[in-house]
Structure 1
């Protein structure tokens, strides 16, 4: 567990390729996404306890979107936490998490050759179903601290969390931060890339100080970085 800023921490799995975030809020701990596996979530809870917290303090789990690398540890984690811990997701993502709807992907005709090959190996459903207690929408407040921000495209119900006081967005997969710079969300896993580009524009218009994403390092000086990237994407 690494400190990003006061009250915000990141668990950078696979050298930061898959990030899970933890927020200390006025209403307990809030975990953003649950990685790819139960083993990862065991490491997360071990670190939380090593930092002096009891697992009963983990009162909120927010899922940015229902892809396997963001929900992999959810079912196991829910079993180990008090029943009072609330899991939040957008209504569309909640249906996928519960096993009521498939994972939407890009159409083969909309992507290039490499992406078409990748589509063959991408699952239609999550490996495990899990519980969602609260279905959220754009503007909802969670834990008396952060607001839900709808960022669709990569998934129909893809959402982030906006921490207004710090001007930090936890943005899921709205972009990825590669060693050479920002890139759009993974094409074969993105059923609506034009809408995903609009979500990038939305983030730029928010003028955040920092954008914490799930694939890559947090984006610092994010207002200018996102403005420049949004202009490139639109061009």
Structure 2
């Protein structure tokens, strides 16, 4: 199978970040990448139902005009991130995300649970043989009476923790390919958009919001 021209974006847990290295690629050969998953998708600059601005602990995009707004559609594997304040199609990134053979979103390695998340600022890990970037995700409490977000390392009601965005690698027939590194690299585009986002919640800085939908 020919190598696909776009890179892969994974949503996973920090445990994967800490164990990956330059000689140990992530093996996703049980799940093929979708093709053209984001065709015609421009993302959102407002909070989708059921995560309305009025019910968001941080006020949603409406109260944070400089935040990035990302929408991940789990069914189509499409992630679109764009600046809240941008009415046109500038400062926007679209990525087809790698799926997983774990379908239960309460399990480690499963898809991101449906929710509103705060997206942290850029973090990185540097070792002798690698440089690794990621963004922490902070899920909103499921209990509407708890108007706040889980800490990155805090377990949610279903037991998930350490959720984040990072660049991964893909396999075709278990023969691993590296992600694209040219100007069409969607991870670099996504990082560029996320790094433009700016919002504050409880005296901490974030890049913006992520909304996970089943579409």
What TM-score comes out, normalization by structure 2 length? 0.27
Bigger helix share:
1
Where relative contact order (Cα < 8 A, 6+ residues apart) is larger, the structure is: 2
What TM-score comes out, normalization by structure 1 length? 0.25
